[in-house]
């Protein structure tokens, strides 16, 4: 199994050839979040990984911060010998993606946010993070793993596989990720974004929609797409639509 050679060892998977497309998952969920995006490997080099402390990746002794998580993304690119990639973050993974693009614009071809936001400011989103922190601190990983796997996958086998992966997640690392995500503010970097931006929202993911307005006013090259009937779980429950949107956008932006 592929792991980074330096510590902590991070688990990653690389498939396909072509333009590199790196996916960053939400807390605890790991590489299986993007199991259906592997379908894009006929056109792109697909890279998925487990954030430190999640699933198969080691936590390490270093305190977790956004800076550390950004450097981990760079480590994944470096070990794959990739100079530039399209960076795609889902949910809280989008916060890491935006921070990476801000720190390493020279390593970025484009930015994709699925259910993304520049800060945790809405009431319901804050509550989700606070509940995640509380569950992690209680070490109720079975409840979290069951909820995330059931909510994200229609097929029982896929849900069961994710459940077992999440059960390997370190609860302390998980609480740290939720805390860091809740504190992260990326909006001050939006007008500096020089690469194209794609925002993908579920049509019924209502409390995330308002974030689009600042992206539209601050980013020069932004495209916004709604996935009909979808809530937040776009890459897992509406993967055909999600993949088609990503492919069309990359083609239109001459990224493939």
Give the phi and the psi of residue 36 in degrees, each rounded to 5. -85, -15
Q: How confident is the model at residue 32 (pLDDT cuts 50, 70, 90)?
A: very high
Domain residue limits, the chain: 12-252
The percent of residues in the chain predicted with pLDDT above 70, rounded, is 100
- Cis amide bond preceding 8, omega within 30: yes
Query: Domain 12-252 - what CATH class?
Result: alpha beta
Each residue of 158-209: pLDDT tens digit?
Answer: 999 999 999 999 999 999 999 999 999 999 999 999 999 999 999 999 999 9
Q: How confident is the model at residue 233 (pLDDT cuts 50, 70, 90)?
A: very high
What is the average pLDDT score of the chain? 96
Q: Please enumerate in sequence order all residues whose Cβ is within 8 A of that of 23, keeping only pairs 6 or more positions apart, or say none.
A: 31, 33, 34, 37, 46, 47, 48, 88, 89, 90, 93
242 vs 149: CA distance, rounded Å: 19
2 has a pLDDT exceeding 80 = yes
Side-chain-side CA neighbours of 10 within 13 Å: the count stands at 26
Residues 83-100 have a mean pLDDT of 98
Q: How confident is the model at residue 106 (pLDDT cuts 50, 70, 90)?
A: very high
What is the largest distance, in Å, between two alpha-carbon atoms of the chain?
A: 47
Residue 213, exposed/middle/buried by CB under 10 A (0-12, 13-18, 19+)?
exposed
pTM for this predicted structure: 0.97
135 has a pLDDT exceeding 90 = yes
- Least Cα distance to 245 among 53, 115, 104, 73 occurs for 115
34 vs 189: CA distance, rounded Å: 27
1 has a pLDDT exceeding 90 = no
């Amino acid at each position: 199994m592929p792991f980074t050679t330096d510590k902590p060892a991070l688990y990653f998977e690389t498939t396909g050839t072509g333009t590199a497309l790196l996916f960053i998952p939400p807390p605890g969920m790991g590489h299986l979040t993007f199991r259906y995006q592997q379908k894009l490997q006929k056109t792109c080099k697909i890279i998925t990984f487990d954030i430190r402390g999640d699933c198969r990746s080691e936590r390490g002794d270093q305190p977790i911060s956004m800076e550390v998580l950004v450097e981990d993304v760079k480590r994944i690119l470096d070990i794959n010998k990739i100079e530039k990639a399209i960076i795609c973050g889902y949910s809280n993974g989008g916060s890491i993606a935006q921070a990476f693009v801000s720190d390493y614009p020279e390593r970025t071809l484009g930015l994709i946010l699925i259910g993304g936001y520049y800060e945790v400011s809405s009431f319901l989103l804050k509550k989700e993070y606070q509940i995640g922190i509380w569950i992690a601190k209680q070490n109720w990983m079975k409840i979290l793993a069951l909820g995330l796997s059931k909510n994200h996958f229609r097929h029982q086998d896929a849900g069961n596989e994710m459940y077992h992966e999440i059960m390997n997640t370190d609860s302390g690392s998980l609480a740290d990720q939720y805390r860091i995500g809740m504190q992260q503010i990326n909006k001050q970097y939006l007008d500096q974004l020089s690469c194209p931006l794609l925002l993908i929202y579920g049509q019924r993911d209502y409390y995330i929609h308002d974030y689009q307005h600042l992206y539209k006013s601050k980013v020069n090259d932004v495209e916004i797409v709604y996935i009909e009937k979808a809530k937040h779980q776009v890459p897992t429950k509406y993967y055909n639509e999600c993949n088609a949107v990503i492919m069309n956008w990359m083609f239109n932006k001459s990224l493939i």
